Amino acid sequence: MVSGAKPVIGHLTEFHRSPEELFRRGRAEHGDMFTFALPGGHKAVALLGPERSRLFFAETDRALSVRPAYPFIARMFAPDFFFVAPFDEYRRQRQIILPRFQGRQLDGYVTAMDAEAVALIEQLGDAGEFTVTDHFAPLAARIAARCFLGRDLAAAIDQDFFAEFRRFSGGIASFPRGDWPLPKFIRGKRARNRLRVILGDLIAERRKAPLDPPDFLQTIAEAHYPDGSPVPDLVLINLILLLIVGGHETTAGHMSWALLDLLGNPRELASATSESAEVLAGNGFCDFASVKPLRHLDLCLLETERLHPVANLLVREALAPLEVDGTTIPAGTVMFVSPAVSHRLADLWPEPDAFRPERFAGEEGKLARQMLIGFGGGTHRCIGLHFAHLEMKIVLARLLTHFDMELVDGPPQPVRGFRAKWPASPCRVRYRARVTSPV
């Protein structure tokens, strides 16, 4: 047991304030597996390092369950939706959208992503300052809406839609409990209900007037399960909501950190800028293949995932006793892995706090890439990972090529507390357009 537990509440205060600090102290005291105290005398188990992370993901949907660990999914979406559904139903729902994130399907998103990146550059103008999260969050939401709802529909949606979505997103939280009558949870549920009406109407309109060739929304509107039965509208609506939430929370945070990491490391910034300019000097971004040459930028995104995973904790609950390192973990135990801590273990990562993208390069970097868990792992690994990387590379390449940029504030720090680990404000960037830059 980690030291410092308080009567009744255990480690709750420290866990809520900074789970990473609690886990680092736990490892210093007990190694890569340890317990800490939750309120009411309950114990939780933390697992660190790649071997235990692999066990954590391998046992998910067997001895470990996602469902009890993420009650906010059931609360804000539905009790039988996606991660919290029984495993067979989860796989059925996942298969509805998985093909839209694979292979040549990604080609169809490139022009939409690039158009939004160019629009951001035009919005910023020739010089000034901007806060990365304030601009990247709505950008990610616009890209998601354009890719998943279609260009015309996304353009027709007014700012009230995105305001509703921010209210909905704000109501998704695992701490404090979402069934408490707090204002943000009430606002979140009301926004969810209004968004469901909007998306339900969009799906109904597509069924009346199908688009040929079909885009993402058309595919969703016509979706059937493998046995031929139609997918309920609520499942389809919730899938769209989930994808836009994921695009907003994870992608915006990761992209913000990536730009800040590059601006704090001049050598890597120069390499990424040179590479981006060379790629854009050709035919620009027109399909997945045109983005693929951004190899150094890809390595930089992996290093940002290592240093600043937006999902700093992943949670499961033991459904049955599970043996780990000779210790039996009882059924009902809540278990955590921490990408934020595991990604900086000094015995696994040379110079763990340094920004070194080359650690992921070539054959030697394969093992390092396999140790990353910022987007989850196993059958629950983020379904939109390749979509997110594609989006981030396009946006960053455009910005790096068009602007000279520098950090305004000191070294960026993550937000505190039990939430998505975006950079804390202020995280401003000063920029000036280059004389010759393709847009």
426 phi, psi to nearest 5 deg: -85, 140
Report the C-alpha gap between 84 and 88 in whole angstroms: 11
Does residue 300 have a known ligand-binding role? no
- Cα–Cα distance for residue pair 278/258, rounded to 1 Å: 20
Structural tokens at position 239:
């899938």
Cα separation, 145 vs 241, in Å, equals: 10
The Cβ-side half-sphere exposure at 31, using a 13 Å CA radius, reads 3
For Cα atoms 112, 196, 219, give the angle at the middle one, nearest 5 degrees: 45
Give the whole-angstrom CA distance, residue 222 versus residue 217: 9
- Binding site residues for heme, as ranges? 382
- Binding site residues, as ranges? 382
